[in-house]
Amino acid sequence: MRTRFQQGLDQLRTRLLRMGGMAEQAIDRACQAYIDRDLNRCHMVLEGESKINEAEREIDLLAFDLLAMQQPTAVDLRFILAVTKINSDLERVGDQAVNIAERVMDMVELPKADLPVDIGRMAAAVAAMVRRALESFIEGKAELAQAVLEMDNVVDRMRDDAFITLVKTMNERPHITRQALDALLVARNLERVADHATNIAEDVIFWVRGADVRHNAQQENPPQEISPRATGA
Amino acid sequence: MRTRFQQGLDQLRTRLLRMGGMAEQAIDRACQAYIDRDLNRCHMVLEGESKINEAEREIDLLAFDLLAMQQPTAVDLRFILAVTKINSDLERVGDQAVNIAERVMDMVELPKADLPVDIGRMAAAVAAMVRRALESFIEGKAELAQAVLEMDNVVDRMRDDAFITLVKTMNERPHITRQALDALLVARNLERVADHATNIAEDVIFWVRGADVRHNAQQENPPQEISPRATGA
């Protein structure tokens, strides 16, 4: 039989995954809006933001309650703290989706321009990072999380390439500077989403490695003492 | 006499303030580097990043230890959670300083251009927000934190103005597109710093309002039950 505390932990996990689904959907919609120049999807992203913000607050409150309820064990404590951090990263993924939607809304007002940047490809890479980061959380596997960290370099390179080619476009075809700038900012927003996926993966590693340590009775991260730090402070 | 737990809380506060000082310094240096086209300061910012990252990890570990040590009271729990959130925001302020320094390094390679944007003024507004947010944390005053939230609109407007004038510059003087783009991205980085200051202020309010609630025995945020949520989940 599961205790009330364990039920709370399950619920925290379920809510965080639902929040993850909302953040993924927001990014997918914003990128699809870019590709199709679709104002409808932009509005859906803007309207979805308040739901994501509300979900963030609810998860934080639930985490707070669980911490207040009783002294969690080391692994539960790490889990709850990881959830609060992943929670803010997901909320910020939602913010980036809003930023992208705003750029698309700017772009749709301007004549369509053929730009030398494949935002769809970059969006697919970033979406895969977010999905894998959430999978590593569901499965509690540090190896999956590690793979996310390695994907970040690929996205950084895509962003750098986009920067170079789009600045060139601005120089050579100044009449479409604004469109090129919108695309460049979308590329930067996507790169920031990738950074959040990286943060999530790091939080999963923090949680899981702690759990491994505990189960193997071998400490990779020895617990810190208060007193030596007090003298060093 | 202060208990070991209370000493730990004091230490957490001291360390977070030191971290805040490092983040403030990084932003000041990066903005001064922009104004003086000073590569030396850029390098100082890049070198300082690993210290900020290290400070973040240490604060997280200390917070973890304090949570693990004993069941903190509601107000201490809120304080510790607020510290972990402020901690990640400060680390991200450090990241923005690095982004600005990188843009300055790009800019210094290019011919100097006279740009219609006052980055110094924007930097001063953003620095004031970070300083006030940290003051609201030191003093534990929600009113001070509230003032930070109101300053955010001013910075957002500055960023929007910078966007409009710099896009115009790119159109009219395409030979300095790259310099204008660097300035535009610096303006966006500063606006992101302002967002982090806003997050910090919100975390202070979360902590302090909880404290007020506790001291006045009047609940603005009633504690959430686990069971009703379980049925709603």
pLDDT in tens, B26-54: 999 999 999 999 999 999 999 999 999 99
Instruction: Looking at the complex, report in whole angstroms how far the Cα of residue A165 sits from the nearest Cα belonging to chain B.
Output: 12
Return the residue matching tokens 């995954």.
Answer: A17
More confidently predicted of B230 and B211: B211
Q: How many CB pairs under 8 A join A and B?
A: 114
The CATH number of the domain covering residues in A4-218: 1.20.58.220
Residues of A whose CB is below 8 A from B184: 181
pLDDT tens, A220-230? 444 333 333 33
Q: How far apart (Å, rounded) are the C-alpha atoms in residues A196 and A189?
A: 11
Can you give the pTM of this predicted structure? 0.83
In this structure, which amino acid lies at residue A192? R
- Segments making up each domain of chain B, as ranges: 4-217
> Is B170 close to A170, i.e. CB distance below 8 A?
yes
Report the range of poorest mean pLDDT among B16-25, B34-43, B160-169. B160-169
> What CA–CA distances, in Å, run from B71 to A10, A13, B149, B154?
21, 22, 32, 41
Residues of B whose CB is below 8 A from A67: 67, 72, 77, 81
* Nearest residue in A to B179, CA atom: A167
The confidence score (pLDDT) of residue B1 equals 59
Tokens of A102: 């705003």
Tokens of B93: 């302020």
Q: How far apart (Å, rounded) are the C-alpha atoms in residues A180 and A100?
A: 14
Which residues in chain A (168-187) have CB-CB distances under 8 A to chain B?
170-171, 174-175, 177-178, 181, 184-185
Give burial (CB, 10 Å; 0-12/13-18/19+) of B125: middle
What pLDDT tens digit does each residue of chain A (233 aa) get? Answer: 578 899 999 999 999 999 999 999 999 999 999 999 999 999 999 999 999 999 999 999 999 999 988 778 888 999 999 999 999 999 999 999 999 999 999 999 999 999 999 999 999 999 999 999 999 999 999 999 999 999 999 999 999 999 999 999 998 999 999 999 999 999 999 999 999 999 999 999 988 987 443 334 334 444 333 333 333 32
Q: How far apart (Å, rounded) are the C-alpha atoms in residues A203 and A140?
A: 11
Give burial (CB, 10 Å; 0-12/13-18/19+) of B121: exposed
Which of B64, B74, B174 has its CB closest to that of A68? B74
A53–chain B Cβ distance below 8 A for any pair: no
DSSP secondary structure letters along chain A: ---HHHHHHHHHHHHHHHHHHHHHHHHHHHHHHHHHT-HHHHHHHHHHHHHHHHHHHHHHHHHHHHHHHS---HHHHHHHHHHHHHHHHHHHHHHHHHHHHHHHHHHHTSPP---S--HHHHHHHHHHHHHHHHHHHHHT-HHHHHHHHHHHHHHHHHHHHHHHHHHHHHHH-GGGHHHHHHHHHHHHHHHHHHHHHHHHHHHHHHHHHHHHHHHHT--SSPPPPSHHHHHH-
Instruction: Looking at the complex, report in whole angstroms how far the Cα of residue A170 sits from the nearest Cα belonging to chain B.
Output: 7
CATH fold label, B4-217: Methane Monooxygenase Hydroxylase; Chain G, domain 1 (1.20.58)
B64–chain A Cβ distance below 8 A for any pair: yes
